[in-house]
Amino acid sequence: MRFDTWAITKALLMVFIFAVLVIIFIPSHRPCKEPLTYRIGKVDERFGLSAKEVLDVAVTAASLWGKAVSRELFQESPTGAIEINFVYDYRQEATDKLKLLSYNIDNTKSSYDDLNARLENHKKEFDQKSTSLSNEFNSYNARMADFNREAATMPQGGFSEQVYKQLMTEKNELQSVHNYLQAQQEEMKRLADTIYNLVV
């Protein structure tokens, strides 16, 4: 029986390469040989949680992960490498605003449809009020221009008391309209904020 030396050499070389790869890569690809350490960092008070409550939940979560793989994966340490921070940012703020608007958030299609319908209603209301407010401003500006033109054509001190009273009455009415329009603008801003909160 004759052996092919090249085939034997090739087989031995393959075994050798495989053994080297096993020696090199197996130890470095065994994740979490030692538990990852963590610590509780900053917990924004707007979450309504204490650092102790966050730590208790983190310990429970770490325990669940450890049980799943039958070894400790995470370990709490005051100098832990992983810092857990509860940062209150725009996403949490948007969630809180939606809660204040008493919109329940869940992932069902019906709640999405309801939220979308509310958004569309608010948009329609905004568009209608915006058009109405624009027309009222145009009317106010026209009245104000007429008032200014009429007041400018009057000679200084040379008009009757009746004309003066009419001008003052018109001026007071224009001021009332101006105040009303400013209040309407504020209402429009609030409505725009509501729409923005629904979109966020």
Per residue in 173-188, pLDDT tens?
888 888 888 888 888 8
Backbone angles phi, psi at 173, to 5 degrees: -65, -40
Together in a domain, 110 and 194: yes
Span of 26-35, 168-177, 180-189 with lowest mean pLDDT: 26-35
When pLDDT is averaged across residues 86-101 and rounded to a whole number, the result is 80
Last residue of a domain, one of 45, 63, 89: 89
Domain of residue 45, residue span: 5-89
Residue 31 pLDDT exceeds 70: no
What's the whole-model pTM score?
0.39
Per residue in 99-130, pLDDT tens?
776 655 455 667 777 777 888 888 888 888 88
Last residue of a domain, one of 89, 115, 140: 89
